[in-house]
Structure 1
Amino acid sequence: MLRSALETNLNLVTKLITHSSARHARKVFDQMPQRSDTFLCNTMMKSHLSSGQFAEAVNLYACLRRKEGFVPDNYTFSTLTKCCGLRFSRWEGMAVHAHVVKYGFSSNLYVATALVDMYGKLGQMGFARKLFDEMLERSPVSWTALMTGYIRSGDMDDAESLFQTIPCNERDTASFNVMIDGYVKLGKMGPAKTIFDATPEKNVVSWTTMIDGYCNNGDVEQARLLFDKMPNRNLYTWNAMIGGCCQNKQSHKALALFQELLAEEMFEPDDVTVVSVLPAIADLGALDIGNWVYEFAKRKKFDKSANVSTALVDMYAKCGEIEKSRTVFDNVRQIDTCTWNALINGLALNGRANEALDVFTEMKKKGFNPNHITMLGVLSACNHSGLVEEGKKWFDKMPEYNLTPKIEHYGCLVDLLGRAGRVVEAESLIKNMPYEANGIILSSLLFACGYAKDVIRAEKFVEKAIDLDPFNDGNYIVLRNLYAGEKRWRDVEEIKKLMASKGAKKEAGCSAIEINSEVFEFVAGNNKMNRTRLVETRSVLDQLRLHMK
């Protein structure tokens, strides 16, 4: 009875296809006796498109034309051009274009716009521009499609030129947003701000794109000004601001924003929010909040996501809860290389080198190929535990995994050799590596010279290290201490003067403690603290002293 009803009621079938997964929808479609109905066929192709099954949609079209005598319409071609553009299939796209011409839809506004968009995605801007110029009528979407194509091809000059020629009545918010996004992606916040200010009707996308751009360029203050000024926010905006603070090492601000988001109760955090805030929690060691986020993620089933589970493994490891980190790892259903990397790095960070190497071995046994980050974790594990020969062995084995050591791997090995007192070997590695030594590597060598009391070698490298990183106080202090050890007090004073002239300052020591899900930070020399908080903090510190005894 149900099959009979479906066969005679196309509206019912199309609704079923629309609201089913593409796989089940296709089963229903394939059982239909009459499959030449244009509306029905378009619905099935659109279902494939919505499910990301672009090839299936194009193949279905070819099959229907060949076997069913299917006659396409403008909706058919709008769907097919999207599929070809998203699949980056140039030849199929050109074949679809040929059918557009054959069936007389070249002058259709929607089809012509879809073709411009398709050629833009395919990087064929000559074809896209020719079609655009031949259009008898254009809509704001047509202009935006061509601009997006230019931007995607990295041609902001032509995009800007086109934007300036758009008639005022066809220049909508979407066209402004496309230009803003184009400049933001290039890191050109000046032109982006100019267009943003000129946008007559800014929407959430306009504001969020600018906030994201400022954060990516390290200007969190300007991003926060826009965030506070926004008339309306959505969860994407909150995620951009929280993630931006984390990205720029402003963990306190990221955590404060997250707590503000929870307090407002307007939006519920999603998996992106969780991934954005966990690095801040890890950085501050805010374990109580981390536990809350973990329980929230489990309740919402976000922990099934590889990104979330990896961030949780990383957070617990950096908070010193390596057993909890391992528990989270063991409960992950779909482990990927990033999750393995998080556990290896976490074990290395907690000084458990042998366990990190065991996990590395297990990872390979289970068929996962190590990447550059994996090898950094392995070298870091050897570094933390002084396993020099083990570290050298894995460094030399990298080509066996089709990995070429990057400068970070050389830096890790230099640090490992330096900490083991093998300064000559570390210097030789720097001279023979295929990269120009950066400030981090030279600082590692200087610290190695400090351990070895090697003043002569330190003097040889300190000038270049300071040139590369003039604000790194450690470089000056190593040499100052070496001079002081040899009672070269005049040289000590010279180093102090050099440090002052370069604007380098010794970074104040700092520590943090979490009380009632709030993180308090102590900076050496800063005596400012609310009296109530001071009493609470002293109480907790007194309890810690008792435990330490």
Structure 2
Amino acid sequence: MTTLYMPLFRSCTNLRSLAQLHAYLLVSGLHHDPLPSTKLIESYAQMGSFQSSKLVFKTFPNPDSFMWGVLIKCSVWNSFFQEAIFLYHTMINNSQVQISNFIFPSVLRACSGSGHLGIGGTVHGTIIKNGFDDDSVIQTSLLCMYGELGCLSYAKKVFDEMPIRDLVSWSSIVMSYVENWKASEGLEMFRLMVLEGTRPDSVTMLSVAEACGELGFFKLARLVHGYIVRREIENDGSLTNSLVAMYSKCSDLRSAERIFLNVTNRSVALWTAMISSYNRSGRLADALKAFFDMLDSRVEPNSVTIMSVLGSYAGLGWLREGKSAHCYIIRKEMDPEYDVLGPFFIELYLKCGELNYAEKVLHMVGERNIVSWNMFISICTGKGLLIEALVCFVQMQTRGLMPDSYSLASSLSASADGGLLQIGDQIHGHIIKKGLSDEFVQNSLIDMYSKCGLTELAYMIFDKIKEKSVVTWNSMICGFSQNGNSVQAINLFNQMYLNALEMNDVTFLSVLQACSNLGYLEKGKWLHHKLLTYGIRRDLYIDTALTDMYAKCGDLLMAQRVFDIMSEKSVVSWSVMIAGYGAHGRVNAAISLFNRMVESGVKPNQITFMNILSACSHAGSIEDGKSFFNSMRDFGVEPNSEHYASMVDLLSRGGDLNEAYRIIKSMPFPADASIWSALLNGCRIHHRMDMIKTIEQDLLDINTDDTGYYTLLSNIYAEEGNWKEFGKLRSVMKSIGLRKVPGYSIIELDKRVYRFGVGDTSLLKTEETLSFLENFQILAQEQVRNLENNNSMIDAVIISKDVY
């Protein structure tokens, strides 16, 4: 009888007509019938009135498991995941309701939507207990839940235990891997799927295309596209969008454009995909042109489109046009509360230098959106506005927002860049107190302490991390390398290699820098070989690092080879090679390379001029050095203290001390200890004590903790026999706590590098080592005596020949 009223539900197009039908059912007494009541619950939820659905459910005397399942499903439809979990627990605690398999797909979706892995595991146990674990729909739901929560091992176990794997289950496992940044594993599952004979559909290929884009494999992307065309896989438009994004991520913008242009009726999603592709390739102006073409085609943009457009304006620094886009968004009422576009407005205004506008947007967002606060802190840190970033970090907490790992990492970065160790320590304490530490935060702590020179603390954090990612290893190796602990950096890399851990281009860049610092050529060559065998793509940074390593390690020929085969050369690449020629005394080659660089259209920077001036200084090419120094401003480069120091050093070594002194006096800023040291060294070389007397007052005015400066001046007094001044300087050094930095030596034994200084016996740990050194010393003394005896015999023979 009640089935006669089912067509009436289909005729209800709005809440008013549905309420009228509900009233009719109440009058007719049919509201106690499970079927129309269940349909009412479902219909109210579909029309957005979940409260009405709950009211119908509560007024029903004894809801069965099917009605419970419908209400739970309706909760999930409306994204009320916590409500769905609460209803599930209420239902299973009701002994009068028999549990059915119908409810579990919705409950599992609620667990993944709310991020409750523990509850999901408990539900999984209930499924097994009730014998529903062989249900294919439930198995697929379990697979999706574990995949969405990042538990790929559990997802794979569920998948492997499936007796029959259909298209949905295969697509789910592929998607799980891809969405959890395991693109290679996702593609491997796709390969096995095809081998098993399961034909993929457009949903599967969406994940496959995304995986190809993430990996950046151009050839594989072409194969996937060909497979889609050859198999005539049905495309509803979303697959076309994914192909456009895939090609742009593989740096093949031409293929992305070709797909885009072949579509006649372009959706807003396709326009957005093309705009994003232009942005990703750095063609920001083309992205904006595509946006205006989209408006001309009368296609209304959505919030995702506007995100890309605001990113284009921010990248170009077009403030006025960005404000126009802001007005357009306000006029269209696209995001009145700035909940979605707030972070992108903040990015636009900060990158255009409008801090006040960015702050206004931030305060309009208030405590509703932590992403906007994170964006503000991150961009301020990147632009060097460190105090503003840290103030924002404090303000967000006063507004009741709990910082997440992104906020903490950006604030730690601001502390590191500003050398604000005390603030960094306070943030570290906050992390420990609140228990907010994750891998992202731990890596930031390692970076912060390393940049503040506290590599011991950084290593303590590193050592306590049980599961270390490649980023964690890279952070510690880079920290050691940048603080002069190159031996430790190389030893840490050796641990990675011996344990067959994942390594990437950043790993090799950091350890190559360590080899450059040590002049460790053999290790550098080995690294070059491993770069090739590991299949890491050579790029501008890798090639530049290799050039620098070979040049600093003395193999200039190999440095030149690497430099010559570089497909593109940045100003850093040219500067590194110029420095290599200069360090080896090949000033003519350095000058020739500098001229080639300028002719190729690459503009020299401060480092380039520092390197060419240093080359001229080492070779004593005074006229060339003067010429380069005088031409700096022609390239828009203002000389800094290092350039002046190099110029003073060049003139001082060449004996033109008066000109060197004139340059010091003409500087736009006070000379520091390094500049006066260059002049002092020239006075020492050319025995110009009269010049030292002239500049004596200038020397007394210097306030520095540079031990090299005091040591040089005291040695000059000692060479001239002026022990009184020598003693004064040594007393000054002692009074301010300065001591000469001791030298050290490096030796390689059994593929490990050791560093030790004078009097350091830490490496001499065994009696055998000490005994060997004593025997070596005795043997050396015997060799010297034998050599002296031989020289005496030779002298006697020569004398006898002269006599005869």
Same fold (TM over 0.5): yes
Residue in 2 aligned with 1:440? 674
- Per-residue deviation, residues 127-168 of structure 1 (Å, max 9, x unmatched): 555555556992433453455577666534751453123446
Contact (CA 8 Å) 1:446, 1:461: kept in 2 or not?
no
Is 2:572 aligned against 1:338? Answer: yes
SS in 2 for 1:468: coil
Is 2:422 aligned against 1:190? Answer: yes
Is 2:259 aligned against 1:18? Answer: no
Is 2:398 aligned against 1:165? Answer: yes
Q: Aligned-residue CA RMSD in angstroms?
A: 3.8
Compute the displacement of 1:408 (Å): 1.7
Residue in 2 aligned with 1:518? 752
Structure 1 counterpart of 2:302, which letter? Answer: D
- Per-residue deviation, residues 103-148 of structure 1 (Å, max 9, x unmatched): 4433477534355544554555555555555569924334534555
Residue in 2 aligned with 1:60? 290
Residue 388 (structure 2) aligned to one of 155, 159, 174: 155
SS in 1 for 2:746: strand
Residue in 2 aligned with 1:419? 653
- Distance, in Å, in 2 between the alignment partners of 1:319 and 1:540 is 29
Count how many residue pairs are aligned between Structure 1 and Structure 2: 540
Residue in 1 aligned with 2:265? 34
Structure 1 counterpart of 2:406, which letter? Answer: A
Compute the displacement of 1:483 (Å): 4.2
Residue in 1 aligned with 2:531? 297
Residue in 2 aligned with 1:113? 342
Structure 1 counterpart of 2:306, which letter? Answer: F
Residue in 2 aligned with 1:140? 370
Structure 2 counterpart of 1:291, which letter? Answer: K
Equivalences for residues 340-359 of structure 1 within 5 A? 340-359=574-593
Is 2:496 aligned against 1:261? Answer: yes
SS in 1 for 2:669: coil
The 3 A distance-change label for structure 1 pair 497 and 201 is closer
Residue 228 (structure 1) aligned to one of 441, 463, 481: 463
Contact (CA 8 Å) 2:617, 2:646: kept in 1 or not?
yes
- Per-residue deviation, residues 356-375 of structure 1 (Å, max 9, x unmatched): 23333443444444333233
Contact (CA 8 Å) 1:351, 1:381: kept in 2 or not?
yes
SS in 2 for 1:511: strand
- Distance, in Å, in 2 between the alignment partners of 1:23 and 1:321 is 41
- Distance, in Å, in 1 between the alignment partners of 2:278 and 2:671 is 52
After superposing the two structures, state which structure 1 stretch, 243-252 or 505-514, moved more. 505-514
- Distance, in Å, in 2 between the alignment partners of 1:384 and 1:367 is 27
Structure 1 counterpart of 2:264, which letter? Answer: P
Residue 44 (structure 1) aligned to one of 274, 286, 294: 274
Residue in 2 aligned with 1:70? 299
Structure 1 counterpart of 2:404, which letter? Answer: D
Is 2:479 aligned against 1:248? Answer: no
Compute the displacement of 1:202 (Å): 1.6
Residue in 2 aligned with 1:431? 665
The 3 A distance-change label for structure 1 pair 517 and 362 is farther
Contact (CA 8 Å) 1:187, 1:217: kept in 2 or not?
yes
SS in 1 for 2:340: helix
Is 2:313 aligned against 1:313? Answer: no
Compute the displacement of 1:281 (Å): 0.7
Compute the displacement of 1:312 (Å): 1.5
Contact (CA 8 Å) 1:391, 1:413: kept in 2 or not?
yes
- Distance, in Å, in 2 between the alignment partners of 1:25 and 1:148 is 31
The 3 A distance-change label for structure 1 pair 339 and 104 is closer
- Distance, in Å, in 2 between the alignment partners of 1:284 and 1:403 is 31
SS in 1 for 2:453: coil
Contact (CA 8 Å) 1:105, 1:111: kept in 2 or not?
no
- Distance, in Å, in 2 between the alignment partners of 1:366 and 1:407 is 28
- Distance, in Å, in 1 between the alignment partners of 2:705 and 2:269 is 68
Which is higher, the Rg of structure 1 or of structure 2? 2
Contact (CA 8 Å) 2:579, 2:611: kept in 1 or not?
yes
Residue in 2 aligned with 1:374? 608
Is 2:654 aligned against 1:410? Answer: no
What stretches of structure 1 of length at least 5 have no aligned partner? Answer: none
The 3 A distance-change label for structure 1 pair 80 and 397 is closer
Contact (CA 8 Å) 1:288, 1:517: kept in 2 or not?
no
Contact (CA 8 Å) 2:683, 2:689: kept in 1 or not?
yes
The 3 A distance-change label for structure 1 pair 7 and 230 is closer
Contact (CA 8 Å) 1:42, 1:76: kept in 2 or not?
yes
- Distance, in Å, in 2 between the alignment partners of 1:132 and 1:508 is 52
Residue in 1 aligned with 2:512? 278
- Per-residue deviation, residues 202-235 of structure 1 (Å, max 9, x unmatched): 2222122222222223232332232223344332
Residue 626 (structure 2) aligned to one of 392, 404, 414: 392
Compute the displacement of 1:66 (Å): 1.9
Compute the displacement of 1:460 (Å): 4.9
Structure 1 counterpart of 2:323, which letter? Answer: M
The 3 A distance-change label for structure 1 pair 262 and 450 is same
Contact (CA 8 Å) 1:45, 1:60: kept in 2 or not?
yes
Residue 80 (structure 1) aligned to one of 285, 309, 329: 309
Residue 408 (structure 2) aligned to one of 157, 164, 176: 176
- Distance, in Å, in 2 between the alignment partners of 1:371 and 1:405 is 10
SS in 1 for 2:330: helix
Contact (CA 8 Å) 1:6, 1:12: kept in 2 or not?
no
Compute the displacement of 1:402 (Å): 4.2
- Distance, in Å, in 2 between the alignment partners of 1:496 and 1:382 is 34
- Distance, in Å, in 2 between the alignment partners of 1:289 and 1:539 is 31
- Per-residue deviation, residues 503-534 of structure 1 (Å, max 9, x unmatched): 34344343333345433335233344345778
Structure 1 counterpart of 2:396, which letter? Answer: F
Is 2:335 aligned against 1:91? Answer: no
Structure 1 counterpart of 2:274, which letter? Answer: M
The 3 A distance-change label for structure 1 pair 454 and 190 is same
- Per-residue deviation, residues 172-206 of structure 1 (Å, max 9, x unmatched): 33343344344444432322332333233222221
Equivalences for residues 477-496 of structure 1 within 5 A? 477-486=712-721, 488-496=722-730
Question: Normalising by the residue count of structure 2, what TM-score does the alignment of the two structures yield?
Answer: 0.59
Contact (CA 8 Å) 1:459, 1:479: kept in 2 or not?
no
Percent sequence identity over matched residues? 26
The 3 A distance-change label for structure 1 pair 386 and 24 is same
- Distance, in Å, in 1 between the alignment partners of 2:299 and 2:576 is 53
After superposing the two structures, state which structure 1 stretch, 104-113 or 278-287, moved more. 104-113
SS in 2 for 1:19: helix
After superposing the two structures, state which structure 1 stretch, 172-181 or 340-349, moved more. 172-181
After superposing the two structures, state which structure 1 stretch, 206-215 or 362-371, moved more. 362-371
- Per-residue deviation, residues 395-449 of structure 1 (Å, max 9, x unmatched): 3343444444332222112212222333333223322333321111111222222
Structure 2 counterpart of 1:455, which letter? Answer: M
After superposing the two structures, state which structure 1 stretch, 283-292 or 370-379, moved more. 370-379
Compute the displacement of 1:4 (Å): 13
The 3 A distance-change label for structure 1 pair 457 and 504 is farther
Structure 1 counterpart of 2:398, which letter? Answer: T
Structure 2 counterpart of 1:415, which letter? Answer: D
Equivalences for residues 467-486 of structure 1 within 5 A? 467-473=702-708, 475-486=710-721
Residue in 2 aligned with 1:203? 438
- Per-residue deviation, residues 289-314 of structure 1 (Å, max 9, x unmatched): 10011122344566742222222222
Greater relative contact order structure (CA < 8 Å, 6+ sep): 1
The 3 A distance-change label for structure 1 pair 272 and 459 is farther
